[in-house]
């Protein structure tokens, strides 16, 4: 009888036990939700960073290609001029030719310079007052005279007072090495044109 009476009785839980069970369930749901939200945030931020790196890499590659094309164009122009006998001999006609080239491309150049084999400026335009100065102390000039091959300098302050990059190509007067033909290229134009997007 006692067993039957106990089996027939419905055991009721106290209100404290019900609240405790609800609190534990709520705590578990909150912990799981927080975990999944953190996981989703981590994945989204990781994907966004990878996408940003990919975009920056594309921009950097485009900038490098643009700068390479820009310097290649200027190098070809200087090499073409360096083959002119009047430019090589630094005659008045050769100087006039350099002035005309500078004027036609002055938005891309700070100056155009004919340098002797000893590192002296034979002629420069537009800062003609720098003619006669030695630029032999400049590292890129030393490298050029040692190798006698085209050289692009690092950014430096020119004798004319510009923040610039110099591009030198060799000049031969017949078979004789006669120095270089150089263009000073404004660094701010390079940075604005090719690097501002990065």
Per-residue pLDDT, 4: 52
Measured distance CA(171)–CA(150) in Å, rounded: 10
User: What are the Cα distances from residue 140, in Å, to 25, 119, 148, 158, 165?
Assistant: 74, 11, 11, 12, 10
| Largest interatomic CA distance in the chain | 132
Give the burial class of 60: count Cβ atoms within 10 A of its Cβ; 0-12 exposed, 13-18 middle, 19 or more buried.
middle
Whether 97 and 157 have beta carbons less than 8 Å apart is answered as no
Per-residue pLDDT, 197: 62
More confident residue, 59 or 180: 180
48, HSE (Cβ side, Cα atoms, 13 Å): 6
Measured distance CA(194)–CA(197) in Å, rounded: 7
pLDDT over 90 percentage in the chain: 42
pLDDT digits (tens, 9 = 90+) for 180-193: 999 998 877 777 77
Q: 71-103 b/e with 16+ CB inside 10 Å = b?
A: beebbebbeebbebeebbebeeebbebbeebbe
Per-residue pLDDT, 53: 76
pLDDT digits (tens, 9 = 90+) for 156-182: 887 767 788 999 999 998 889 999 999
pLDDT digits (tens, 9 = 90+) for 44-58: 777 778 787 777 777
Q: Does 64 score more than 70 pLDDT?
A: yes
Per-residue pLDDT, 31: 77
pLDDT over 70 percentage in the chain: 90
pLDDT digits (tens, 9 = 90+) for 93-148: 999 999 999 998 767 888 999 999 999 999 999 988 889 999 999 999 999 999 99
DSSP secondary structure letter of residue 68: H
Torsions phi, psi for 6 (to 5 deg): -70, -40
pLDDT digits (tens, 9 = 90+) for 16-45: 777 777 777 777 778 777 877 777 777 877
């Amino acid at each position: 009888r006692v067993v039957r009476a106990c089996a027939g009785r419905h055991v009721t839980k106290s209100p404290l036990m019900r609240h405790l069970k609800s609190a534990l369930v709520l705590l578990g749901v909150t912990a799981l939700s927080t975990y999944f939200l953190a996981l989703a945030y981590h994945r989204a931020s990781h994907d966004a960073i990878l996408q940003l790196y990919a975009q920056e890499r594309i921009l950097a590659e485009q900038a490098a290609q643009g700068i390479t094309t820009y310097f290649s164009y200027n190098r070809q122009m200087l090499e073409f001029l360096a083959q002119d006998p009047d430019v090589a001999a630094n005659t008045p006609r050769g100087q006039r030719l350099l002035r005309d080239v500078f004027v036609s491309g002055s938005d891309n150049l700070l100056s155009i310079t004919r340098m002797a084999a000893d590192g002296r400026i034979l002629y420069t335009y537009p800062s003609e007052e720098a003619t006669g100065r030695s630029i032999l102390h400049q590292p890129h000039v030393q490298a050029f005279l040692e190798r006698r091959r085209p050289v692009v300098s690092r950014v430096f302050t020119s004798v004319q007072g510009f923040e610039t990059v110099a591009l030198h190509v060799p000049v031969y007067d017949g078979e004789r090495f006669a120095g270089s033909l150089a263009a000073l290229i404004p660094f701010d134009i390079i940075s604005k044109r090719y690097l501002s997007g990065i």
